A and B are shown apart, each in its own frame.
Chain A
């Protein structure tokens, strides 16, 4: 049997080796998380938080380097996951993350915040309706896939294809080629109209 929780501070003003301020911070942390799970009933919320702190305080002497908040947060995570495992009848070992997601989803779909706040983290047995709501809840974002592949059929754009192809013509190369050809013609014309003789004369004058 576990020793009873020491809820009052000792003579040094500490509980399980941590100051009251530290436990207050731990309390707030755990309360915040349960609040985010939409646990709105104050007495219930207080009880749940104390249950978590109790476990954290039991672990505290063995972990002198850990803060009260760290210990409480870890215990909170553990308690919730263990409870999900019990309710959903799944082993928590090796599937903590899947279990945590599935459990939270089940809480949402079973409308725990609206209908079953009193059952949250309570040890079993639970009302049959609650268990069914938790275990049978599933989430489907779509029906079974029936995969296929649409393929576009060719579309002959007719005369437009010619126009769109105009954009692909290498205009620069064409302009360069025609410029080169024009220059060649000009050169031939010049050479055949006295240019050739002038070139010969120039070479003769310059030795």
Chain B
């Protein structure tokens, strides 16, 4: 109303109507966020019994005979990191004494042959290390149809009926054993609950960007999520990982249909999690958010560009939800979850449109020479206020709405002494909030431009290609940052020049938005630096509980990652076709690879896939011969994968590579044999 009044005072026009509509939409979204914070703060202050962990006593419940699968769907990820996360989770469950109730599955969809072989080798190493044969399983699909949701479905179709529950983890997930046991107990004492989502804490960030995101997540999330749970309750949501799911209803109701129409909206549902929760709720199963269960962790991108790459994937998935939004039978709350997800991205083009419309009004006013017609405010309290004072009041209210949840999070921290200590004390936490606010002020306009681009390109059905990020140990390199941000810099400069021409006073009001754009390249590079992250840590800034008092699971993970980094295990990966070489030449890797292929053939679905790729045919044997005599470059990637998926040919290749005279082998093989023979075992 205040904003409408202000527009009224400056003379109503069509463009002002547009401005008002945009303001209402944006303010509504910000206010929803703010209200989550306010409600969350008071809920945490006074406590509530309306949470899944407080509804019934569950700790003493026995889970003997209850089987739960913990699944890790992966896709070309760093297998060392994935398996070390799994190891930390496994050992943590072992400490609870409940290991017998859980089985672990690595569900690979990797398409990179080097990654494939590395996963197999590391898996076999892990199961031997932990003596976990028959506890930790590995399965790779030959065809990764329908991506992650297809991967999970394949698991459920093959083994789902063996398990009453399954816990879906991400490649970077780590979960505490007690938390997993608690989740199973909660499911047991609440038979009408279909899914319980935990709130994963961001951990293990080292770059400045990563540590700022991590700090924001750890400080603000408790308040926000408590607010979210206040209205969602048993109509909660699923975020795709670190959640326990009741297998039977999931298999019965949550297989996702293909959406009608063409891509990017039609076809496979990309962001499957929200829809799966909505389908679960549609069938009267409850979905809860166990926001007060600690011990659920994940990692976040370490740089702005990496973050934007992830945002792009999510944007497409969330926009696709607009097709599901009006589906019959869905709960109203599910529609709300879907709508908020969509607006998470649509808000950016709206914000941009708001600022552009404002510029247009300002420009029109200046160049037409029309003067503002001062009209009195229709609010009796503002009649004596000037237009400028009125506008400033609105600005202050907007700032309060944006900043209040952050302030309340600090107050929430201040009244909790042990937690305050975990954040390095109230002073450090306040410094962190100020730093995070400054950074997010610079980051927000970049996200606005990125999201706008993602939304528009998705609507137009254009796929935006992203090359693999070039990262050094130090972080994003300057040239790559320039390639990704030159547009932002240019827009910032042009917009700055334009507003300066219009009115230098206006320019200064726009500087918070423009500075982030103009300095996007150094911002992107510097915040990706691990050294700056370490300096901030040394200064006590952006500390999180997992940094000051790391849990056992993370200590184990970090120490193993550090040793891996220092021992230079990364070097062989840089060579081309190193996975293929290992699968053929290394007697043990070859044996593991072939055994896995043999076992897979017992499943009729996979047997049919083997037939589809022609495994066991003479054609593949001929490719094997070509591989030996000409080297891997003589085969295209599909042919290489065909050879690697044929157990008979892989055994034959192993024998031939070692028995055949060197002159009958391609020079590449001779070099690889030398490498294998001289490496330190």
Q: Which residues of A contact B (CB under 8 A)?
A: 29, 31-33, 35-38, 40, 67, 69-70, 73-74, 76-77, 97, 100-102, 104-105, 107-109, 111, 113, 138-161, 164-165, 167
**In the complex, what's the smallest C-beta–C-beta distance from B632 to chain A, in angstroms?**
19
Partner of B587, one of A29, A104, A155, A167: A104
Smallest CB-CB separation from B680: which chain A residue? A40
Contact present for B257 and A143 (CB under 8 Å) = no
Chain B contacts of A153 at CB under 8 A? 253, 255, 257, 279
Q: Do the beta carbons of B137 and A36 come within 8 Å of each other?
A: no
What is the bound-complex CA distance between A153 and B654, given in angstroms?
47
Q: Is the CB of B327 within 8 A of A155?
A: yes
8 Å CB contact of B139 from A109, A142, A157: A142
Could you say which of A31, A100, A144, A154 has the most chain B C-beta atoms within 10 Å of its C-beta? A100
Q: Which B627-669 residues sit within 8 Å CB-CB of chain A?
A: 648, 651-652, 654-655, 658-662
Of the candidates A76, A97, A165, the one whose C-beta lies within 8 Å of that of B652 is A97
In Å, the complex CA distance between A70 and B598 comes to: 30
Complexed CA–CA distance, A141 and B652 (Å): 22
Give the distance in Å from the alpha carbon of A36 to the alpha carbon of B677 in the complex.
6
B326 touches A108 (CB 8 A): no
Known: A73-B658, A104-B587. A140 touches B133 (CB 8 A): yes
**CA–CA, A145 and B251, complex, Å:** 16
Number of interface residues of B (CB under 8 A): 69
Residue B590 interfacial (CB < 8 Å): yes
B420 to chain A: closest CB distance in Å?
47
- With A32-B673, A69-B661, A100-B651: A154-B257 Cβ-Cβ less than 8 Å: yes
The distance from the CB of A26 to the nearest CB of chain B, in whole angstroms, is 10
* Distance of A147 Cα from B591 Cα, bound (Å): 27
Q: How far is A37 from B603 in the complex, measured between Cα atoms in Å?
A: 31
Chain A residues within an 8 Å CB radius of B329: 156
- With A105-B591, A145-B159, A146-B159: A138-B262 Cβ-Cβ less than 8 Å: no
Q: For the complex, is B604 an interface residue (Cβ under 8 Å from A)?
A: yes
The answer to whether B160 touches A108, judged by C-beta atoms less than 8 angstroms apart, is no
In the assembly, what is the distance between CA of A44 and CA of B632, in Å? 35
Q: A32-B677, A107-B588, A141-B600 in contact; A148/B260 too (CB < 8 A)? A: no
CB of B194, distance to nearest CB on chain A (Å): 15
Q: Which of B322, B655, B661 contacts A67 (CB 8 A)?
A: B661
The 4 closest A-B pairs by CB, nearest first: A32-B677, A104-B591, A164-B261, A158-B326
Would you call A69 and B662 a contact (CB within 8 A)? yes
A160 touches B255 (CB 8 A): no
Q: B138 and A155: CB pair below 8 A? A: no
Closest Cβ of chain A to B460, distance in Å, is: 14
What are 28 A-B pairs with beta-carbon distances under 8 A? A35-B677, A36-B676, A70-B659, A73-B658, A73-B659, A100-B654, A101-B651, A105-B591, A105-B595, A108-B128, A108-B592, A111-B128, A140-B137, A141-B137, A141-B599, A142-B158, A143-B162, A147-B158, A147-B605, A148-B156, A148-B157, A148-B161, A149-B157, A150-B153, A150-B160, A153-B257, A155-B279, A157-B260
